A and B are shown apart, each in its own frame.
Chain A
Amino acid sequence: MKISRRDFLNWAGAVGGSTAVYRAAMGMGLLPIAARAARPLLTASGKSKKVLILGAGISGLTSAYELSKHGYEVQVLEASFRAGGRNMTVRHGSRIDETGYPQVCNFDDDPDLYFNCGPARIPGHHVNLLGYCKELDVELEPFINDNRNAWVQDDAMFGGKPIRAREYLSDTRGFVAELMAKSINKDALTGPMTADDWDRLREYLRYFGELDPQFKYIGTSRSGLATHDYTAPEVLKAPLSPSELLKSKFMLIMSFGETDDQAAMMMEPVGGMDRVVAGFMRKVGHLVQLESQVQRIKVLPRGVEVTYRRDGEYVTTRADYVLNCIPMHLLAGIEHNFPAEYAAGFTAIPRGKLFKIGFQMKERFWEREGIYGGISWTLQDIQQIWYPAHGIHRKKGVVLGAYTFSPEAGEKFARLPPAERFKLAIAQGAKIHPDYASHVESGVSIAWHQMNHMLGCAAQWEEPLFKQWFKTLQSPAGSHYLIGDQVSYHPGWQEGAIASAHHAMADIDARERAGGTQVVHS
């Protein structure tokens, strides 16, 4: 089999999408390295120009911060009693404004006992968010995604008994490496693969799976030693049965912690993700008006008119520009005069239904199991249990007791009253930690598609929706711009929200430099 460079790129594409092709090509010297995304240089003065920002989520706050620095008159209208949007951290006394099931967080009053309901981690290449963290004095600390000591549990394998993540990952790799080393045939390799290449490939497989000199997998310290008695010789664990390991669909998520946005090193703000919101609010809080729910948006020949409700009264205001991060699925219910082809996009992108539970545990029992931070995975509804990497060795800690990705699992939890949600999550968590229930002191649950003023998690973009709608929704309708992670190729991430705000502001800046009347790419 002849393997050309083009073949390699095609495989990379099949596995990792076009991004992988691009990255691989960069590695092979085919493409120049793109410049890092920079904050737009706003050069036009915003003096005497008013910008109304709808929604005090991360994109709205970014816009308020940048535009007010450049002389624009800025007002932010936020429907909720709080700023931040899905950037939301709950701690002692926090109010959780869920439709039908309002809750109050009953955690102890302690700086380490908080729960990030929305975004919870930041990778090192989210340069814009990290830039704001630096500028706004938001202190960061490491966040752990990938912990080989954490558990993997699936009713489909080993009778539901949890195994350590390191066992699953190392034993499946050892098995695959042995199988491949034994089955690749030197004579079948032609073209650019030489006999030396074949030897090198076998060596690669040896180290990939940690095979013995005969290319047999007999176990590895990667899967953990049988004991850690350092006064006695090391004893390897016997490899787990490959046929049992392959029964689990865990293979679908086993590489989660290796992906572009999840691989080490990850970070989190000290004290909760909402420290980012607090940082912005220190700068622009005086421009943000809470509990002001938008009811009508009217695009004018020049500018935009917005009507909102506050204290039961309708208030109408006008601005030269509107930057709008109201979730599109809610915007669809607000009166407007947008072009039909623009507004049709609001209902075309499904809303996310992610769901989370946080439990205050009276003892950090996971640390007794050698787990410090990271994620245990299960194929049950709760899907994952996160252990805090902060507050290590303190008495109590807040674990994430459920974080569902599928709409079905999200709905299953969301339709239960909170106490029932906790019961279900505790029963499932007990398959990983048998004494789980005895440690739970209090809980919070976040059903994002039932959270007021959001009613959805990240917009569920995928092809062909991107192709059909993205450009339309990203372009302004007159002087009205949609922003938020919902209008980015990175939905569900604050970096996407910031990118959308930067994009819109760069467009406004271009219009202002051109005299303030020209409608750019619309």
Chain B
Amino acid sequence: MKRLLAPFAVLLLLAFLVSSARAGNDFDYCLLCHGSNANGNYGIRAPKLSGIEPWYLARQLENFAAGVRGAPADDAAGHEMAPVALRLKQQGSLDAAVKFIGSLDPGRPHATVQGDATTGKKLYAACAACHGARGEGNAALQSPALVARSDWYLVTQLTNYKTGLRGADERDTYGAQMRAIAATLVDDQAIANVVAYINTLQGLAPRN
């Protein structure tokens, strides 16, 4: 079997060389999945990236590349992102990708999650300490803003933290904190409620 797989390894290497030879608009691939201006595409469950803090984007790309995120067998969406991040890292273009996303024009996403924001407000108290009372985030704590995100994606991630699809890797210290917090959200309804409340927050600056 080893003898057989050797040609495949050569083939993969070739593939890297061919694709990296193509200069120019490689980052347009980001927009293919994540939509115009990387404002997200629910159609393929690709979250909004534009407007996310560069340090947070960089950390998540590093996590995907290192297998800290996207490794569990059941995380189909994470599996799609992980090899992309790995290639960016191997090509040394991870920072450039983050910069490209930062150059885009972020739009305010539509609310899609139905929940009880009043109940969600009480639950949000556990989030506010790190992510801010207005969901504005806190760079000092490495906590990203929560406003103006794909709200369905917040639901997915809270669920992933709860089930261990995210944050279970021992290298993921921030993820471990999030797992503990997500565990306090007792069910899907609680998650929907807290995200419905996040949808009412404005962050720090008015958004378009």
Contact = CB atoms under 8 A, between A and B. Distances in A.
Contacts of A96: 15
26 contacts: A81-B22, A99-B29, A99-B33, A106-B14, A293-B31, A295-B31, A310-B25, A312-B28, A332-B44, A333-B33, A333-B35, A333-B41, A333-B44, A335-B37, A335-B39, A346-B43, A351-B43, A415-B73, A437-B1, A440-B4, A441-B7, A442-B7, A442-B11, A450-B80, A455-B33, A456-B44
Nearest to B9: A419
Interface in A405-460: 411, 414-415, 417-419, 422-423, 426, 437, 440-443, 450, 452-453, 455-456
B36 A295 contact: yes
B18 A102 contact: yes
Interface in B7-25: 7-12, 14-16, 18-19, 22, 24-25
Contacts of B37: 295, 335
B28 A330 contact: no
A103 B12 contact: yes
Contact of A333 (B10, B15, B34): B34
B7 A106 contact: yes
B5 interface: yes
Interface stretch (B81-89, B114-122, B141-149, B175-183): B81-89
Contact of A329 (B4, B10, B44, B83): B44
Contacts of B42: 332-333, 347
Contacts of B14: 104, 106
- Closest 5 pairs (CB-CB, A-B): A333-B41, A333-B35, A100-B83, A332-B43, A329-B43
A328 B43 contact: yes
B82 to A, nearest CB: 7
Interface in B87-117: 87, 107
A311 interface: yes
Contacts of A330: 32, 41, 43-44
B167 interface: no
A216 interface: no
Interface in A170-209: none
A103 B11 CA distance: 7
A417 B41 contact: no
Given A419-B9, A422-B5, A423-B5, A100 B33 contact: no
Contacts of A334: 35-36
Given A99-B83, A309-B28, A333-B46, A423 B39 contact: no
